[in-house]
Chain A
Amino acid sequence: MRIYAIAVYLFLYVPIGIIVLFSFNAGNHASELRGLSVQWYGKALSNPFVGDAFITSLVIALTVAVLSSLMGTAAALALQRLKGRMRVLFDGLIFVSVMIPGIVIGIATLVALVTVFDFLNPILASIWPEGSQAPKLHMGYASVIAAHTLFTMSLVIIMVRARIAGMDRALIEASMDLYATPWRTFYQVTLPQIYPAILAGFLLSFTFSFDDFIISFFVAGPNTTLPIYIFSSIRRGITPEVNAIGTMVLVGSLILLMTAQYLMRERDKTK
């Protein structure tokens, strides 16, 4: 059993180790190790495309995470008191949005937005005052954020809802019984109880958005996110620069994950 476990861990980590190892490659060829150096880190960091792609991904992922946790939490709280046909409708939409493949979301969003923009842009141009440049709607940050948020928002709803369901209903009643108004009950009792789920949802949303390739690939328009950049460099031919970027992303996520874990443990000593 233990040997099996070790084998699985090797299986999980050897590839990651190889990426890290080759990121220190002194040579130019990705697949041949010729001495060690950090030159590719320097190259990656000084490459403006990499920097831009990183910033783009970061901005998008942060926005997605904030939007999803806010809207997802709000919706989860509202859904818990909603009954009847609206409830069924929302449950259905949540189910579909989680289940539908990212690639279909990407395609459908692309097609729909292009159609809507093609329809709206001439109208905008015609009603815009003469002399000034009419704004032109196009794919970009907003479309990526919107498409990512569709999925991550539903994830947050599911996570927060599970936490609400697991919460002792008597806690809310106890708070009401002890003279707290519904609003005070919410932020003194409910919020601290569901907070871990919201934080987990935030992190998951961020990671999903930051790592997503396929949706962004369709709806990012002229913008390049980090995964798109990595994908196209792999397509162009592999250089150790990709390994250096990959290693930095790995280390970055690790730090983020550990910080989050630490924060959670500090705050959530409730279980």
Chain B
Amino acid sequence: MKEQSKSNRWLTAVLLTPTGLWFAFMLVLPLIVILVFSFGERAPVGGYAGGFTLEHYANLGARLKAFTNTLTYAPVGTLLSLLVAYPLAYYLAIKVNRRYKLILLVLVIVPFWTSLLIRTYAWIYILGGKGLPSILDWIGFEGVRLINTPGAVLMGIVYGYLPLMVFPIYVSLEKLNKSYLEASSDLGASPYKTFMQVTLPLSMPGVATGCMLVFILLMGEFLIPAFLGGGKVFFIGNALVDLFLQSRNWPFGSAISITLVVIMLITVSLYMRMTMRNSKTGVDESLM
């Protein structure tokens, strides 16, 4: 018995070693390095020089706009995606004929499996000068500007992350036992009340998962604001690309990265704790 558990422990160690090394060298080490860098000086030619200073953190205000943008667009974008996604998920899970269900579901998921880069790029066409604006022009609304506006960025967000939101909500609605709805109706609840008191609460795990996934991805978003926001709407991600690849201010970029990670750790942990408490099932890991 003892020997067996010993060999078991060996096996566990062997199975975990590659993953452990990966975490150590590709996650922990890089995070420590940028943490150190964030307290260092900027070398004259760019890059990093040793030292200890808090000036980069003190200087975060210089990029305040990136932070405030990210922290408004991420939650607003998440909420918008939810509003667009929920009715569709509901339709797919509950209303639609069984025969078309699978194909319709696949049609939602397919865009998720294709490049976000290319899908976002399509909107440059549509919102660009020769796309929708020219049609609006023709109708009579002259000089409407669509691209490089907050609206364009939000639309890009909803477009890009809709599948990611629909899928978890669909799964939790699909799991929902239809007899609950019948029971509610049988007990005299109107369809609206049934939805508010039965369907919606029971689909919360899916909603929580979807929102978390989209929110996490939005916090580090770079492409959508880069393509559809022009220079006007930029996120932390855009600031970071600028700092590391253009102005080569590594210590300041590191400070921003560390701040972003800390903000995310706090918000996501808080969010998870909140959803765990509210619904017994909490965030459903299997939905990823």
Residues of chain A at the chain B interface (Cβ within 8 Å): 1-2, 4-5, 8-9, 11-16, 18-19, 22, 30-32, 71-72, 74-75, 77-79, 81-82, 90, 93, 96-105, 107-113, 115, 146-147, 149-150, 153, 155, 157-159, 161-163, 165-166, 207, 210-211, 213-214, 217-218, 227, 230-231, 234, 238, 242, 246, 249-250, 253-254, 257, 261
**Chain B contact residues, majority secondary structure:** helix
| A99-B268, A107-B257, A111-B254 known; A12 vs B91 contact (CB < 8 Å) | no
16 intermolecular pairs with C-beta atoms under 8 Å apart: A4-B91, A5-B92, A78-B15, A100-B261, A103-B237, A104-B220, A108-B31, A108-B33, A108-B257, A109-B30, A158-B288, A162-B285, A214-B222, A227-B117, A230-B121, A257-B110
Q: A103-B237, A257-B113 are in contact. Are A75 and B121 (CB under 8 A)?
A: no
The answer to the question of B58 belonging to the interface, with a C-beta cut-off of 8 Å to chain A, is no
Q: A4-B87, A150-B26, A158-B288 are in contact. Are A211 and B122 (CB under 8 A)?
A: no
Q: With the chains together, A163 CA to B131 CA distance in Å?
A: 46
What are the 4 tightest A-B residue pairs by CB atom distance, in nearest-first order?
Answer: A101-B220, A108-B30, A15-B122, A162-B286
B82 within 8 A of A: no
Q: Which residues of A contact B37 (CB under 8 A)?
A: 111
Quick check: is B80 within 8 A (CB to CB) of the other chain?
no
| Residues in B neighbouring A31, C-beta threshold 8 A | 125, 128-131
Answer whether A249 and B124 are a contact pair too, CB < 8 Å, given A101-B216, A111-B30. Answer: no
Residues of B1-25 whose CB lies within 8 A of A: 8, 11-13, 15-16, 18-20, 22-23, 25
The reply on B54 being an interface residue by CB < 8 A is no
Known contacts A11-B159, A93-B23, A211-B115: A74-B16 contact under CB 8 Å: yes
Alpha-carbon distance A246/B116, docked complex (angstroms) = 10
Least Cβ–Cβ distance between A88 and chain B, in angstroms: 14
- State A234–B216 Cα separation when bound (angstroms): 26
- The interface size of chain B toward A, counting residues with CB under 8 Å, comes to 79
**Contact between chains at A112 and B216 (CB < 8 Å):** no
Instruction: Indicate if the CB atoms of A12 and B162 lie closer than 8 Å.
Output: yes
Is the pair A147, B220 in contact by a Cβ cutoff of 8 Å?
no
Q: Are B260 and A104 in contact (CB under 8 A)?
A: yes
Decide: A103 near B240, CB < 8 A? Known: A12-B159, A74-B18, A97-B23. Answer: yes
A230 touches B125 (CB 8 A): no
Which A residues touch B237, using CB under 8 A?
Answer: 101, 103, 214
CB distance from B7 to the nearest CB of A (A): 10
Measured in the bound complex, the distance between the Cα atoms of B19 and A186 in whole Å is 20
Contact B30 A75 (CB under 8 A): no
**C-alpha gap A112/B22 in the complex (Å):** 14
A102 to chain B: which residues have CB within 8 Å? 220
The answer to the question of B29 belonging to the interface, with a C-beta cut-off of 8 Å to chain A, is yes
Contacts of B18 in A (CB 8 A): 71, 74-75
Is A22's CB under 8 angstroms from B15's CB?
A: no
- Do A8 and B30 form a contact, CB below 8 Å, given A158-B285, A162-B285? no
Asked whether any CB of chain A lies closer than 8 Å to the CB of B95, the reply is: yes
CB within 8 A of B264: which of A5, A99, A146?
Answer: A99
Q: Contacting B34 at CB < 8 Å: which of A4, A112, A150? A: A112
Complex: A212 Cα to B115 Cα, angstroms: 8
Known: A71-B22, A234-B121, A257-B110. A96 touches B27 (CB 8 A): yes
Residues of A within 8 A of B22 (CB): 71, 146, 149-150, 153
Chain B residues lying within 8 Å of A253, measured Cβ to Cβ, are: 113-115
Q: Is the CB of A93 within 8 A of B123?
A: no
Residue of B nearest to A257 (CB): B113
Evaluate contact between B27 and A97: CB separation under 8 angstroms: yes
Q: For B244, list chain A residues within 8 Å (CB).
A: 107, 110, 218
Return A2 CB to nearest CB of chain B, in Å: 7
Contacts of A15 in B (CB 8 A): 119, 122-123, 125-126, 159
The yes or no answer to B204 lying at the interface (CB within 8 A) is: no
Contacts of A96 in B (CB 8 A): 27, 265
Contact B264 A155 (CB under 8 A): no
User: Which residues on B sit within 8 Å (CB–CB) of A74?
Assistant: 15-16, 18-19
Contact among B125, B241, B253 for A22, CB-based, below 8 A:
B125
Interface flag for B88 (CB, 8 Å):
yes
Report A255 CB to chain B, min CB distance, Å.
11
What residues of chain B lie closer than 8 Å to A155, measured between beta carbons? 288
Q: Is B157 an interface residue (CB 8 A)?
A: no
